[in-house]
Amino acid sequence: MDESIIDMAVLAFGLSLLVGPACGALLGWRMGFEAGVALGCLIIGAAGLAAAGVSAWQRWQLVGGTEVVQGQIAGYVTERNTDGKGKITETRAPLVAYTAPDGEPRQVKGLGGGLAGLSAGDPVEVRYRPDNPARAVVADFQNVWGIVWGMGVFGLLPTLFGLFFVGVARGEREGMADRPPPARRDPTPGQLRWRQRVTMGSNALFVGGFLVAIFYPFDDSARSLGLGFMTIGFGMLGHFIGQSIPPAMEFQFRSIFGIIGIGFLVFGFGAWMMA
């Protein structure tokens, strides 16, 4: 499949890793550390989200213009990669054999991940273009949607941290303005009870997530890890809700629960889907 548009989007994201910190350092020198971190994170996050959007559009076009055929694992090829320090790593990429309606046998190379545990002859679905059956992709989450998920993670989390530091920088400026703090109402007994219940439930989810990740009897440990991470994420979001009930913690601080919760959810979802 044509990956050029995705390659350009990923390249733009890579450039944002240089541009973001540079612009952030300049703004931080002028307006303070928090403002600089906020700008740097938002630039990186915007580039990541844009890359995720471009990748999602390309993958949607891919899915809409292809047909599915049943293939099978033909074998594995070993690929060697060398990093900047000269360290060589080896990965095994699956070769999937398939035959389109034209009757010609073909093969397509996929990513490891969820296919790593399969043996030769195991069935695997393949998506191919009817007008050019040689253009194909393995039809699992990792090979079709993995790039969208990855760019989404790299875009969403820096964006959330950038917004967090925007709030920190704003709070610093308001503190320097020497404004009186807003009046706070005392919580009602009902609010205190709900805050306690939500906090206890969130603690149970948080602890349960670790137990699920370690002990849940899935055949694939990645599914246990994914479900455990998602459970922990819901627990952290529960803490965000609980800390929002009067007497509410300042939004700047309770938002940390929300950011961490979203992080666990997206990583857990990815681990579950790629298992």
Whether the per-residue pLDDT at 38 is higher than 70: the answer is yes
Half-sphere exposure (Cβ direction) of 230: Cα atoms closer than 13 Å: 12
Q: Which residue did the predictor score with more confidence, 64 or 219?
A: 64
The ranges assigned to domains in the chain are 67-140, 187-275
Q: Which residue did the predictor score with more confidence, 87 or 183?
A: 87
Q: Which residue did the predictor score with more confidence, 93 or 233?
A: 233
Asked if residues 38 and 46 have their Cβ atoms less than 8 Å apart, the reply is: no
Q: Report the alpha-carbon distance of residue 24 to residue 36 in Å, rounded.
A: 4
pLDDT (mean) for 164-190: 75
pTM, entire model: 0.85
Find the range with the poorest average confidence among 214-223, 238-247, 266-275: 214-223
Please state the length of the chain: 275
pLDDT at 25: 95
Positive/negative CA dihedral, 107, 113, 118, 123: negative
Q: Residue 80's beta-bridge partner residues?
A: 90
pLDDT band (50, 70, 90) for residue 183: low
pLDDT at 106: 95
Mean of pLDDT over the chain: 89
Whether the per-residue pLDDT at 233 is higher than 60: the answer is yes
Options 1.20.1740, 1.10.3470, 3.30.2010, 2.40.50; which CATH number does 67-140 get?
A: 2.40.50
Instruction: For residue range 1-31, list pLDDT tens digits in order.
Output: 557 888 899 999 999 999 999 999 999 998 8
Q: Report the alpha-carbon distance of residue 93 to residue 113 in Å, rounded.
A: 9
Distance of CA 154 to the CA centre of its chain: 6
Q: At a CB cut-off of 8 Å and minimum separation 6, what does 243 contact?
A: 195, 199, 249, 253, 254, 257
Whether the per-residue pLDDT at 173 is higher than 80: the answer is no
